[in-house]
């Protein structure tokens, strides 16, 4: 059983000791200071693997080494990586951003100073008392996690957001799943943070005015307010109940529209005259139907 900084096997904790790039260099146990010792060439090929080699496969970059059937590849989540070639087997989904670099290259051919974790694109951020970004967490396997893979559970908004995402992915609704997967796997980055309590949720575009005018796909910054105060205000204004899922899904449509370059018809008004708002309410009503809530008829 993996537990972030190591794993438990036969009721014994095995601790990963990693270098500055996140490569597993040693596995230690309470009774054996060197259960496994690992050395690599710069691009990940092993030249030293001492100890119990058959069980522990989390190695270069902290990724799983797949040596079954003679593959000898690393599973970098989005793509398989071949350490013998020093490159990936499939093209980088963000290749258009790095046109001067091979789409198969590993961390721009600079493995001594850079890493290429996985390319996830839904990022939840927290801020300090000075309103500066304190930490970033990426959405993975139904949860927001830090760089070490540890689940982020101390923020109520992040927990509720992850719960909604899990509910979407566990549903049978293809449209909701498609739109969440689109922003999750996008070449654009979609940031999310806790909004002002009672201030409502708002999606801000992350791009130039020129990109917006041309209808180019861009990322977003969502200030998400799923507080009790905001739900109460919504119920008073619209006459129907609000939920975490209905709020998140409404904003998901705006994120999706920005991501595919479909916000040129946005008038900036929260009314039935705004096509982008109509689309958001339509998607929200799909979520409401799943939760057996009254459908929204007012904008």
- Quick check: 187 pLDDT over 70? yes
* Dihedral of the alpha carbons of 25, 26, 27, 30, in degrees to the nearest 10: -150
Q: How does strand 219-224 pair with strand 190-194? A: parallel
Instruction: Report pLDDT for 120.
Output: 40
Average pLDDT over residues 217-228: 93
The pLDDT tens digits of the residues spanning 87-141 come to 888 887 766 655 567 888 887 777 876 666 654 457 888 988 877 778 888 888 7
Q: How does strand 24-28 pair with strand 122-127? A: unpaired
Q: How does strand 87-88 pair with strand 190-194? A: unpaired
What mean pLDDT is reported for the chain? 85
Average pLDDT over residues 202-210: 84
Instruction: Pick 37 or 175 by higher pLDDT.
Output: 175
Distance CA 56, CA 64 (A): 9
Reduce the DSSP state of residue 145 to 3 states and report it. strand
Of 201, 187, 299, the residue nearest 249 (C-alpha): 201
Distance CA 9, CA 1 (A): 7
Report CA 278 to chain centroid distance, whole Å.
27
228, containing H or E segment:
helix 228-238
Of 69, 28, 67, the residue nearest 50 (C-alpha): 28
Average pLDDT over residues 38-47: 90
Report CA 89 to chain centroid distance, whole Å.
22
Q: How many residues does the chain have?
A: 299
Distance CA 158, CA 144 (A): 7
Residues 6+ apart with CB under 8 A from 53: 36
**Which pTM does this prediction carry?**
0.61
């Amino acid at each position: 059983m993996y537990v972030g900084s190591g794993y438990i096997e036969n009721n014994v904790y095995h601790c990963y000791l990693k270098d500055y790039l996140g490569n597993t260099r040693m596995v230690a146990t309470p009774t054996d200071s060197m259960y496994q010792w690992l050395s690599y060439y710069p691009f990940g090929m092993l030249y030293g693997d001492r100890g119990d080699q058959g069980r522990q496969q989390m190695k270069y970059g902290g990724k799983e080494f797949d040596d079954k059937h003679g593959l000898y590849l690393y599973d970098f989540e989005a793509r398989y990586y071949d350490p013998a070639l020093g490159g990936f087997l499939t093209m980088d989904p963000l290749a258009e951003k790095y046109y001067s670099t091979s789409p198969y290259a590993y961390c721009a051919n600079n493995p001594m100073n850079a890493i290429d974790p996985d390319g996830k694109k839904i990022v939840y951020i927290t801020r300090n008392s000075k309103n500066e970004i304190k930490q970033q967490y990426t959405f993975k396997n139904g949860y927001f996690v830090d760089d070490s893979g540890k689940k982020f559970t101390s923020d109520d908004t992040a927990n509720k957001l992850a719960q909604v995402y899990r509910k979407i992915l566990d549903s049978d609704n293809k449209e909701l799943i498609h739109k969440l997967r689109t922003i999750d796997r996008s070449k654009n980055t979609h940031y999310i943070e806790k909004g002002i309590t009672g201030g409502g949720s708002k999606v801000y575009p992350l791009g130039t005015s020129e990109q917006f005018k041309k209808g180019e796909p861009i990322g977003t910054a969502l200030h998400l307010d799923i507080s009790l105060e905001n739900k109460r205000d919504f119920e008073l204004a619209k006459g129907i109940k609000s939920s975490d899922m209905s709020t998140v899904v409404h904003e998901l449509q705006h994120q999706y529209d920005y991501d595919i370059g479909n916000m040129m018809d946005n008038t900036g008004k929260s009314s039935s005259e705004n096509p982008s708002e109509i689309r958001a309410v339509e998607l929200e009503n799909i979520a409401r139907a799943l939760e057996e809530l009254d459908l929204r008829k007012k904008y």
